[in-house]
Structure 1
């Protein structure tokens, strides 16, 4: 039994017994024990005379020969006058059924004596209200048992209890009930009539949409207070009318009925009923379409029944004194049981509350209990009918008590048998779960193993909640609570996923002692409360009771969370031991599956990286093309299998040559993907006729901004030259191009050109400038990436631009750009010990004529 249900179980039991006894007892008293006799006609005082006002068609009064307008003189010798009509009516009501009374009437100046046979009518309206109350109580009880922690479930149950208590006000005949029973019944009826309207309105303030007004204490206090005041006024009026016949009080109540206060009290119930219906409509249209469609039957029936009862109230004000209307008014109440049944349909069919476990367990138990008691009491009644009443009363009590002992043992045996039927045999459960894990087809698939484990646990226990969640860094990501109760203190937090951390001490204990099954109840999981009240409320709202840790290589790999099982509410010691055994077996199998997956992943990654490297190598320029009058050397060395540096050399449609060196931020596959896109776009722009050199960088910037992530960018240097050595150079955030003219430091300078990187956000003007020049014989243009100059040794020193220049100038005298390129890469590799980065170098020189 859950903590929430354990806390309110006695409240549910006592209120249910009280409501059932009062409702069934009042119906029994009104229809059998104190059922009033009736002559099926009505009287009216006209001055000092008493006249027959209306006769029920085909009733006993019509059969006796009474007619409308007859003056009633006496009943069975008792004089009838206008001042004592209530006394005469009470005299008739107290007679047994079938009694014949002589009515003396004056008709057209003739005195007639007519025999009237009294009958006792059956209250069909009261029966309909009772059936509706029983249905509402039963549905409310199932709802609150299934979700005892939700306020809306408890509210639903209270509405069912009050619906049962309203039966008293509808069924009881106050003039015929014994005075000793009348006072408590009237007080209970007043309480029910006072609670019903505010409970109705308050319910639709909570369901199906939580309106802010539901938490306004001042509004709720005024609503409940005013309605309870109306119920108290009703009770006082009935008691005073019954026990005090003085004209003073009767006149006071007549005055109160005609006053504005009396009219407001009279219309409070219809007004609240319509207001609740309006809230129901508005709240339904604020729900998702699926749930709105689920509530549609309840919405339609509620609207139809409220309209039907409103029609009844309006007709009652105009024809309420009509005997035919009173006797046939049950027709207006006939659809009333459909109201709780429509809500029951929405609950059962669409799962607004999880009531199936409650139906299976509790309804079965109550059915067995009720049938046993019915058979026992029926047997006692049969024995009394056979003559056991001649035995002295003291001995009858002894015999009844002794006979109750075997009945009690029989009932206990039946309930234990049902409990065993509800609980699956432990050996069968073990075979179901472990047998599924033994399937060899699933041993090398982690997903198949976990899915099979979930299926087998669901088949074995049929839990109403079953979650298989991964564990990452000792944390379990709990899912959001679906449809959290808006009245709960952490309703907004419950609607979001939340992380449950497994404490280090708990994991160490699980690793060393194999204690892999943990209870999640508030009385056995203090480590959850230590992580905050919100997390504790989240676990309670998910209604999970047990957490089973599956360890792989002595580390938590997955967590299996279980809610209440098939027709049961908790997991016993044997169940937890079985779950521990299952967790050990699953962990052993998962180690094999995880190792197999890692081997496959490693092979797959290597294959993908090789494919990416081949694609990248096909895009970059790996060998210098033949250019008469020029020497070129180029090299790109990625830090990993793939890299983010760009190197491309190609010929433009104008006959000029073009070279580009770039660097994409980041490393790995993402940088290689952006580099591939940039290279393809650069080739397309460079080889497009009509695309000027100045337009290339702006076009690349616009395109790369739409392709790259918000924090990614591309630096680029592009160089264009013709056969005469005239060159044009533009730079977008890349290191400046070097112009080498000799071996001394003064003969190596940086060509500065402005311009920001490509693809940067937010957008801003690039301000890319183009520098033009003439490449003379023996001059070198050097473009490179920062992977060369920012290489780092063991002492944390950078290779630096100065070393780079010195190394290029040292080889300059040989006139071989290829030798200079190889020397730079060899020197940087020998220098570097950390901070590995992509390296790119391009050198262009003009040969002597």
Structure 2
């Protein structure tokens, strides 16, 4: 160690390895007292003899010194003139340990230890290496006092460090918990599917890597007992096997790659590379050779990348990118931020690496791989997230309360008395200033408390919203439901609106509703939250049994109380409760509700709200039934009006103008439509055939048959047939198509003005009345004839 300053030319500096560099505030134009000489002319010096030999063998006048300046955690390079070096400028220090970092608030910091201190003895015990010094520290019991003899700025100082009864850095705890999480996930996968090779490989790799992470930092062994030796072998060998097994698992997970498994040399290559890299790393005392496993895996991936299927890429996408990003992030944090974040770096790396096993769990759960179908219920997720949120708030609040007393408040000349607040120009007394600071700290603490509670409330509300745990307003819900029920008239719209609104208000996974007409028939049903086609068919087929089973319940009931076939189907669709809908003690429907989206149980107020909804719906359902009946009547009336218009339009709209004949005809149905008809059939030779008829029955059926008969007569008249022949052919056609209980009566007359003759043919119709103008007499003409469509006997 340098004990006399001497001038020198500053050349540069570099940070001490594995330490956090500090700003260089000391002089840079000389080597100062307290500097530790590392090398002379690039030659390492360890003893006084090495220094003297290096100075004597240097032929040049300029000598290059590399010195460690403890107060800066930096190695500085100087060019020193031989003439500047003083005699006896150097003393030999015994074995010591350099303090490169002091944890703020720790036991050493409280004792007064600083960066750059040289520890010479611990509890009056000397040591030769840092490992031996660490062993002395760990041998002392927790809770005892340690006596440090240190050298600081060329002065000897004694420090008494009071150790805590128990202590562990948060970052170390996080890293250990991350390793434990790796082990838990690995153990779960192996135990769940021990017969699947992919599960065995993944689980084993997670177990060994997790064990390495858990034990790596918390080791406090100083004697190599058999247990310590076995543990170290498992830890160091396990991490090699774990990484190797993880790369091996990609041959089978997420899908088996036969292009790799068929190559017998690839799998042994993983483990041989792992063993070789571990041996090289052991002999060169460096972890860099372990990267051979990664390079071998990259080589296999590049060589056989064309054999990767699109399905394999899709399933492996999350794991692949999570592993790459986590590995790169952990490396970057270690290399570039390790010195600046030395205290918390381990915890950050642990959190980053935790993403890898979680990505496996996500992939397995999402795509149902390894024959595992595990899902965390929403209520369990809610409990976990709520607890974590509470722990985070509690940790922040506790941390804030410990940091507040260390807060440097502005020196304001404010004095608080019991009756007033005074602001003075002169500085307050120490006691008054202390009282003012205490009051200000209390105000800040109270404000912080309210702020944290507000943040907790907002965060909890957000969590409640995500997991559907909000308390809904029953009054508002009743109003919204009432609006839907009051403005919806049709059965289908009412059913759809009811299930959708109920699902929205109560946050239900599925809702169903059935409407019953006269307690005999399922007239309408609707479901929300699932494809209800099969369920709807089942309800329609079993409607009578369903109505009979639900009729016995007067209030809400569990689906388990239904008969077996109904219970099994409804439970399969996810329904839990049913609420009968009654009107005047008549069962007119039932509400079916499934599980809440929050996956919590139904409370009494939930069931009460469903009962209230059923009572509200009963009125709307009755109105919908009435509306449906009214709409049906209106539809029939409208259709009959159209039929009447069509029927009247099918009758002759104009009267033929035939010389020698005065013709007039009209038809007025007794109902909207009927079977009476008449028609004018002209053959173009001056003769006119007039046909009048009536179809048995009334209403729509008679009108349809009338149109059919009218069409047949018009078609056959084109063959210039007499009335009798016309009826005979028409009868043959009608006997084939007409119902047995229906028939047609027709009366036809062919008028020939040229011959002054009329040919009459009757098919069961009323007689023909003939008025003779000359004699002023009326004669009844009643030829023989049966109605058309009765039989094939053509008696007309």
Q: TM-score, normalization: structure 1?
A: 0.38
Greater RCO (Cα-Cα under 8 Å, separation 6 or more): 1
Structure that is richer in helix per residue: 1
Larger Rg: 2
